[in-house]
């Protein structure tokens, strides 16, 4: 048997996509071990919902954008995140 989940959490700004550097910085941040450990400490289930994402403390927009720009300059990391 196969099961498909149709729920998808999206980050947006006024119902539009985020600038690439910000989106990549956000992806990199959310994929860190520190965020994963923090998330697991307050989340008792395996699914991530919008409320869970709202409870996470995020770096500033400028910091996420700077992280995204750095990620975009890293050849190996850029390919991995693009495939995610």
Flag whether 25 is in a domain: yes
Per residue in 6-25, pLDDT (tens digit) is 677 889 889 889 999 999 99
Instruction: Place 80 in a pLDDT band, splitting at 50, 70 and 90.
Output: low
Flag whether 44 is in a domain: yes
Residue 63 has pLDDT above 90, yes or no: yes
Flag whether 54 is in a domain: yes
Q: Measure the CA–CA gap between 2 and 38, rounded to whole angstroms.
A: 31
User: Lowest-pLDDT range, 3-17, 19-33, 34-48?
Assistant: 34-48
Query: Which domain range does residue 60 map to?
Result: 20-83
Q: Yes or no: say if 11 and 23 are a contact pair by the CB < 8 Å rule.
A: yes
Confidence (pLDDT) at 65: 97
Flag whether 5 is in a domain: no
The total number of structural domains in the chain stands at 1
Q: Yes or no: say if 68 and 20 are a contact pair by the CB < 8 Å rule.
A: yes
Q: Measure the CA–CA gap between 30 and 63, rounded to whole angstroms.
A: 13
Instruction: Place 62 in a pLDDT band, splitting at 50, 70 and 90.
Output: very high
* E strand intervals along the chain: none
């Amino acid at each position: 048997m196969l099961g498909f989940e149709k729920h998808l959490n999206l980050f947006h700004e006024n119902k539009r996509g985020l600038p690439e550097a910000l989106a990549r910085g956000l992806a990199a941040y959310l994929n860190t071990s520190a965020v994963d450990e923090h998330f697991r400490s307050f989340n008792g289930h395996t699914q991530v919902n919008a409320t869970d994402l709202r409870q996470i403390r995020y770096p500033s927009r400028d910091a996420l954008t700077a992280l995204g720009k750095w990620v975009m300059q890293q050849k190996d990391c850029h390919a991995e995140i693009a495939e995610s």
